[in-house]
Chain A
Amino acid sequence: MASWPQNPKLIGGRIPRLDGLGKASGKTKYPSDVRPDGTLFGVLLTSPVPYAKIKSIDASAAAKMPGVKAIHLVVEAGGTLHYQGETIGGVAAETEEKARDAVRAIKVEYEILPHVATEEQAMAPGAPQIMNGGNVRKGREVANPKVDEAYRAADFKLDSTYSIPVITHVCLESHGLTVRWDNDDHMTVWASTQNVGGVSGELAGAFQIPATNVHTMTEVMGGGFGSKFGADVWGVIAGHLSKKAGGKPVRMFLDRSQEHLTGGNRPSGTAHIQMGATKDGMLTAMIAETHGTGGSSRGANFPLPYVYFVPNAKRSHSDVYVNGGDARAMRAPGHPQGCALMEAAMDDIAAMIGIDPLDFRIKNLPPKDFRTPIYLQELELGAKAIGWKEKWKPRGQNGSGTIKRGLGLGLHQWGGGGTTDKQVSCTINPDGSVEVKSATQDLGTGTRTILAIITAEVLGLKTTDIKSNIGDSLFPPGQPSGGSTTAPSMSPPAYNAALQARDAFLAKIAPALAAEAQQLSLADGQVLIDGQPKISWKDACRKLGMGSVSVTAGALPGLSSNGVGGCQFAEAEVDVETGVVKLKKIVAVQDSGLIIDMLTWESQVYGGVIGGINPALFEERVMDPGSGLMLNADMEMYKLAGASDIPEIVVIPLDTPEMRARGVIGVGEPPTISTAAAIRNAVSNAIGVPVNKWPMTPMNVLDALAAAKQGKA
């Protein structure tokens, strides 16, 4: 088993990302910034209606418009459109303005079909059925045989329904790519993707050419969050448009409304939860009937029960199909929903029992799980940082004025882990330059930088001495960036390649230094003989003569792991007259094994928290039952946190020798999971009544207060 350096100089430090200045100065070209010579502008035609059959489609007038070079349709007369925003075809023209005009000039006659745009509509008796087999697909029930009995016998019985709505990814760089046919069977592609290899593969399949003939590049990209793994239908359309236009590059990126409508979304989750517990705070039973929608064809399942040990559980889940855009993976798929619904119930039953919700959680951690000792350490750190002991008060005791203050928490978990079949190449050149390459991507996570840190650590150089080249499908096979798997998949081969390149390099220069290779080592930009600095790195590299040293290597075992915990605490202030929630502080405690770059690691966790603040307070895809259209497919009414909404956020790494010994584990997903749960619990703690619908908007908060008042009256 290999191991990481015991006393690293760089690994674990705070190292600015290699591509940071290029991005911050506007000089880096994103895929959507690339304009190869002769670029034509593509615009997509998408469905303006939620559910329809196409009676006729006529693009002849559009084809004759000035500047229009190609039109390609993917839905013909007789075809069905299942949601607003579904792709019909595309136009390529000399300018974007002309392409838009031409899209508008394509005449489509729709036979409007009765739609179901919301889950309520889809589940209503007599609803129009949009799916073979019905709008509601019930999954297999998983049940412990004694669960009903255990629930009936419980000292305390919770019976509540919670729901969290569909949200969309809102990648700031929309989905898209520029495609150019270089000849009959070669394509060059600049794609905003989490998976350069996947884009090449999909386009190669669509056009029946070898995947190696599709050169996909993603030097940087403007956000994916799980929604950008393929070329997509619009990518294939761009390929057809380019082909029809004699191979000219065609640029095809979604507009903002299309990005909301068809670029992916996170399914909703609704749970009717019956939970039982003893009077000393032990969970005994949980019965959950859940449903959610992943749009017109995708599922919407999520893990439940979540984190805690429930001796008797029953779960049944139904996927609900609606005339809405289809779900895609979104940062920790399923977990934020499962976590929110579980943790809300945990807080509500803790309030019934009259137990401190922190103690209640500790009591109900799974006794044999490897995460339990990790959670215990994390809860201690988090509770201390938020001031739980001093500040937490039971519901209903958080101030007598109109502004109430409350605390809440949530726990989460993620598997992560990596693959062992990816490769990195490491090349040392006679001029002293060092290049690492792999066909993985940097989504803003810092992948490029951690590969350079690992290489520089081994070669005794600075991170900035390493050229870290990723995002190119022709490079050695790299990890698609999803599920927090990139760092654990790519760090081991980067380390192995650097070690092998170092050894080959030292063997090669040893004779010129009149030494044996075993006497040589590297540190601080020097080659050492028997521990004494002898010659600078650059001078040593010159001794390579004409030949570079280049090694392509795969993973070594023992350098990465999987499975993390984590917890978050929130402090919120709520105005019970207006329902406005103001966050005061969030504490996020996270383990993720060996941390390569503490600076970018902290940014990931911090950003994960904000990725949880958004659905906690603001985000919601609003569908209009009447028209079947999304009412907020923009960035004005689709609300996201801005600078003034951001509270103090404290990020605490569980960075212990035991954690470091686990090796590299990714951190993209876990820190976004429990934020919305912790905030909801803080709000409910503040106002003294449970709020059962996310987001914690003034309306949902005031509704909860009103419902509680009515219940009491």
Chain B
Amino acid sequence: MLETEQKPPNNRASRRDFLRGSGLAAATTVLTGRATAAIEEARAQDSEVQVLSGEIPLKLNVNGEEKATVAEPRSTLLDTLRNRLDVTGPKRVCDRASCGACTVIVEGETVYSCTTLAVSCQGKAIETIESFDTGPNGVPYAFHQNDGLMCGYCTPGFVTSCKALLDQNKNPTLEEIQRGLDGNICRCGTYGGVFKAALAAAKTMKGA
């Protein structure tokens, strides 16, 4: 353990080197949660250690389309989508995983793209609001008809969370909808329209 203590904790390459040298099984019993995650990374990556810095080429699968760009290892998925790929449906609001405006669906699960690194999403299916059905059977339509939006800046996040919720629960109660949307914040106070929209969308999706 001495070796890790002497090196800065954020030196990813050296930590991996250490993990490789120290024997994973022994290490697991004594390491902290953060190091355990690093073990997972080390296991996943059998190739030589890669140190990423500066701008690197990146391929992201966004709404079924392979998109090539450059980003930095520290670039969030949100900033990469918005600033480099012109995918601006997801919004940057809190930038710290508190408000849900940046919500996208990665491999079927909603994530806060403001606190997800773009590099970690390579090879994964990223679904953003831009790909949703805007017709009468879709969630956006239900938000529109039920006035589930005012300024609309939180709306893409709510619509995305709502769609993911309905994908998993076809018949939600009002309480389930409220719990399912608790990761999102609206400042205009449009919650009533949002709840109505979610209930209406569930109804149409069942009928569709």
Judging by beta carbons under 8 Å apart, are A607 and B90 in contact? no
Cβ of B34 within 8 Å of any chain A Cβ, yes or no, is: no
Residues in chain B near residue A305, CB distance under 8 A: none
Closest A residue, CB atoms, query B97: A636
- Show 30 A/B contacts (Cβ-Cβ < 8 Å), sorted by A: A19-B152, A20-B144, A21-B134, A21-B140, A23-B152, A24-B149, A25-B129, A26-B88, A26-B90, A26-B130, A26-B140, A30-B153, A35-B86, A95-B55, A95-B72, A96-B83, A220-B151, A221-B151, A256-B93, A599-B147, A600-B150, A607-B188, A607-B190, A610-B188, A634-B96, A641-B191, A643-B182, A643-B184, A643-B191, A643-B195
Question: Given the known A-B contacts A606-B192, A635-B98, A646-B192, are A23 and B74 also in contact in the complex, defined by CB atoms under 8 Å?
Answer: no
Range class of the A interface residue count: 35 or more
Residues in chain B near residue A25, CB distance under 8 A: 89, 129-130, 132, 134, 138, 140, 159
Question: Given the known A-B contacts A25-B134, A172-B154, are A41 and B83 also in contact in the complex, defined by CB atoms under 8 Å?
Answer: yes
Q: Enumerate the 6 nearest inter-chain pairs by beta-carbon distance, A residue then B residue, closest first.
A: A26-B89, A610-B189, A222-B153, A444-B151, A23-B152, A607-B189
User: Could you give, for residues 81-101 of chain A, a 1 whenever the CB lies within 8 Å of some chain B CB and a 0 otherwise?
Assistant: 000000000000001110000
Judging by beta carbons under 8 Å apart, are B129 and A33 in contact? no
> What is the bound-complex CA distance between A96 and B81, given in angstroms?
13
> What is the bound-complex CA distance between A603 and B150, given in angstroms?
8
Residues in chain A near residue B179, CB distance under 8 A: 643-644
User: Could you give, for residues 13-49 of chain A, a 1 whenever the CB lies within 8 Å of some chain B CB and a 0 otherwise?
Assistant: 0001101110111111110110100000100000000
> What is the bound-complex CA distance between A173 and B91, given in angstroms?
8
Cβ of A445 within 8 Å of any chain B Cβ, yes or no, is: yes
Judging by beta carbons under 8 Å apart, are A642 and B96 in contact? no
Cβ of A223 within 8 Å of any chain B Cβ, yes or no, is: yes
Choose one: A599, A607, A640; the contact of B185 (CB below 8 Å): A640
Judging by beta carbons under 8 Å apart, are A223 and B153 in contact? yes
Residues in chain A near residue B22, CB distance under 8 A: none
Residues in chain A near residue B89, CB distance under 8 A: 25-27
> What is the bound-complex CA distance between A604 and B187, given in angstroms?
12
Residues of B171-198 whose CB lies within 8 A of A: 177-195
> What is the bound-complex CA distance between A220 and B152, given in angstroms?
9
Cβ of B110 within 8 Å of any chain A Cβ, yes or no, is: no
Cβ of B113 within 8 Å of any chain A Cβ, yes or no, is: no
Judging by beta carbons under 8 Å apart, are B72 and A97 in contact? yes
Residues in chain B near residue A33, CB distance under 8 A: 82, 88
Judging by beta carbons under 8 Å apart, are A172 and B95 in contact? no
Cβ of B99 within 8 Å of any chain A Cβ, yes or no, is: yes
Cβ of A170 within 8 Å of any chain B Cβ, yes or no, is: yes
Cβ of A443 within 8 Å of any chain B Cβ, yes or no, is: yes
Q: Which of A97, A170, A608, A613 has the most CB of B within 10 A?
A: A97
> What is the bound-complex CA distance between A32 and B78, given in angstroms?
13
Cβ of B101 within 8 Å of any chain A Cβ, yes or no, is: yes
Choose one: B99, B177, B193, B195; the contact of A603 (CB below 8 Å): B193
Residues in chain A near residue B151, CB distance under 8 A: 172-173, 220-223, 443-444
Residues in chain A near residue B188, CB distance under 8 A: 223, 444, 603, 607, 610-611
Residues in chain B near residue A444, CB distance under 8 A: 149-152, 188
Residues in chain B near residue A604, CB distance under 8 A: 150
> What is the bound-complex CA distance between A548 and B86, given in angstroms?
37
Residues in chain B near residue A223, CB distance under 8 A: 151, 153, 187-188
Residues in chain B near residue A611, CB distance under 8 A: 188-189
Judging by beta carbons under 8 Å apart, are A256 and B94 in contact? yes
> What is the bound-complex CA distance between A16 and B181, given in angstroms?
23
Judging by beta carbons under 8 Å apart, are A20 and B149 in contact? yes
Report B's interface with A, CB cutoff 8 A. 55, 72, 74-75, 79, 82-83, 86, 88-96, 98-99, 101, 128-130, 132, 134, 138-141, 143-145, 147-156, 159, 177-195
Residues in chain B near residue A173, CB distance under 8 A: 91, 93, 151, 153
> What is the bound-complex CA distance between A17 and B148, given in angstroms?
10
Residues of A436-469 whose CB lies within 8 A of B: 443-446
Q: Other CB < 8 Å A-B pairs besides A35-B88, A97-B74, 12 of them?
A: A20-B143, A21-B141, A24-B149, A26-B89, A26-B90, A28-B152, A96-B83, A443-B150, A444-B149, A607-B150, A609-B189, A610-B188
Judging by beta carbons under 8 Å apart, are B94 and A610 in contact? no
> What is the bound-complex CA distance between A606 and B189, given in angstroms?
7
Judging by beta carbons under 8 Å apart, are B189 and A608 in contact? yes
Cβ of A255 within 8 Å of any chain B Cβ, yes or no, is: yes
Q: How far is the CB of B117 from chain A (nearest CB, A)?
A: 12
Q: How far is the CB of B108 from chain A (nearest CB, A)?
A: 19
Report A's interface with B, CB cutoff 8 A. 16-17, 19-21, 23-30, 32-33, 35, 41, 95-97, 170-174, 220-223, 225, 255-256, 443-446, 599-600, 602-604, 606-611, 613, 634-636, 640-644, 646, 649
Residues in chain B near residue A602, CB distance under 8 A: 147
Q: How far is the CB of B152 from chain A (nearest CB, A)?
A: 3
> What is the bound-complex CA distance between A604 and B188, given in angstroms?
8
Residues in chain B near residue A171, CB distance under 8 A: 187
Judging by beta carbons under 8 Å apart, are B159 and A26 in contact? yes
Q: Is the interface of A mostly helix, strand, loop or mixed?
A: loop
Judging by beta carbons under 8 Å apart, are B153 and A95 in contact? no
Q: How far is the CB of B50 from chain A (nearest CB, A)?
A: 19
Closest B residue, CB atoms, query A30: B153
Closest A residue, CB atoms, query B94: A635
Question: Given the known A-B contacts A173-B153, A222-B151, A223-B151, are A643 and B96 also in contact in the complex, defined by CB atoms under 8 Å?
Answer: no
Residues in chain B near residue A610, CB distance under 8 A: 186, 188-189, 191
Q: Which of A17, A173, A604 has the most CB of B within 10 A?
A: A173
Closest A residue, CB atoms, query B160: A26
Judging by beta carbons under 8 Å apart, are B152 and A636 in contact? no
Closest A residue, CB atoms, query B148: A24
Closest A residue, CB atoms, query B82: A33
Judging by beta carbons under 8 Å apart, are B95 and A445 in contact? no
> What is the bound-complex CA distance between A446 and B132, given in angstroms?
24
Closest A residue, CB atoms, query B192: A606
Residues in chain A near residue B140, CB distance under 8 A: 21, 24-26
Residues in chain A near residue B94, CB distance under 8 A: 256, 634-636
> What is the bound-complex CA distance between A644 and B194, given in angstroms?
12
Q: How far is the CB of B114 from chain A (nearest CB, A)?
A: 10
Judging by beta carbons under 8 Å apart, are A172 and B156 in contact? no
Residues in chain A near residue B79, CB distance under 8 A: 96-97
Question: Given the known A-B contacts A256-B96, A634-B96, A636-B96, are A603 and B147 also in contact in the complex, defined by CB atoms under 8 Å?
Answer: yes
Judging by beta carbons under 8 Å apart, are A636 and B189 in contact? no
Residues in chain A near residue B145, CB distance under 8 A: 16, 20
Residues in chain A near residue B195, CB distance under 8 A: 643, 646
Judging by beta carbons under 8 Å apart, are B187 and A642 in contact? no
Residues in chain B near residue A23, CB distance under 8 A: 149, 152, 155
> What is the bound-complex CA distance between A634 and B90, given in angstroms?
19
> What is the bound-complex CA distance between A19 and B150, given in angstroms?
10
Judging by beta carbons under 8 Å apart, are B189 and A24 in contact? no
Closest A residue, CB atoms, query B130: A26
Closest B residue, CB atoms, query A606: B192
Residues in chain A near residue B192, CB distance under 8 A: 603, 606, 646, 649
Q: How far is the CB of B124 from chain A (nearest CB, A)?
A: 20
Residues in chain B near residue A32, CB distance under 8 A: 91-92
Choose one: A96, A221, A635; the contact of B99 (CB below 8 Å): A635
Residues in chain A near residue B156, CB distance under 8 A: 24, 26
> What is the bound-complex CA distance between A5 and B173, given in angstroms?
42
> What is the bound-complex CA distance between A95 and B76, given in angstroms?
13
Judging by beta carbons under 8 Å apart, are B147 and A172 in contact? no
> What is the bound-complex CA distance between A678 and B90, given in angstroms?
36
Closest B residue, CB atoms, query A35: B86
Q: How far is the CB of A568 from chain B (nearest CB, A)?
A: 14
Question: Given the known A-B contacts A97-B72, A222-B91, are A643 and B98 also in contact in the complex, defined by CB atoms under 8 Å?
Answer: no
Question: Given the known A-B contacts A27-B89, A222-B91, A607-B189, are A642 and B149 also in contact in the complex, defined by CB atoms under 8 Å?
Answer: no
Residues in chain A near residue B159, CB distance under 8 A: 24-26
Q: How far is the CB of B133 from chain A (nearest CB, A)?
A: 9
> What is the bound-complex CA distance between A607 and B149, given in angstroms?
10
Q: How far is the CB of B193 from chain A (nearest CB, A)?
A: 6
Q: How far is the CB of B176 from chain A (nearest CB, A)?
A: 11
